[in-house]
Amino acid sequence: MSGREFFVGRYRQLGWEFREVLPRQAIRVNVMNVGGVDVVGRLRDLGVELEKVPFVQSGYWVVRSKFSVGATVEYLLGYYSIQEAAAQIPATLFTDLKGKTVLDACAAPGGKTVQLADLMGNTGVIVALDVDR
């Protein structure tokens, strides 16, 4: 039995309903990389409709886009990362990371690691580890 099957079965035993819901695509502006560039404005000029994620400072949901938001010059320049809104929360739970040593023990594919570096202002040390299978 897979982990998914176990949890779905357990939730049903508790009387909860289960339905498949796809997460909304989201981006996170990489504040350290933008250098004053209005990334959100540039994406909107390209026709991307964005909605601010209320619980993370630099997060936006992609409401509508006629193209992949991973196919823009701004993305290739590292102005933003494609990262689910929920995945943007853990790094924001820390305060005053500047100059600290941080262990990211579940680092792949690297979105939270980049976010930590952003929050640290490119100071300190990040040790990023993950399983290699």
Coil/strand/helix, residue 61: strand
Q: What is the pTM of this model?
A: 0.80
Span 112-133, mean pLDDT? 90
| Alpha-carbon gap, residue 63 to 47, rounded angstroms | 11
Please write down the long-range contacts of 49-56, taking CB distance under 8 Å and 24 or more positions apart: 53/26, 53/85, 53/88, 55/85, 55/89, 56/28, 56/85, 56/88, 56/89, 56/92
Compute the residue count for the chain: 133
Helix or strand run (H / E) with residue 103? strand 101-104
Domain 22-128 indexed as CATH 3.40.140.80: no
Mean of the per-residue pLDDT values of the chain: 92
pLDDT tens, 72-94?
999 999 999 999 999 999 999 98
Tell me: pLDDT of 38 over 90: yes
pLDDT band at 96 (very low <50, low <70, confident <90, very high): confident
What is the structure's pLDDT at 46?
97
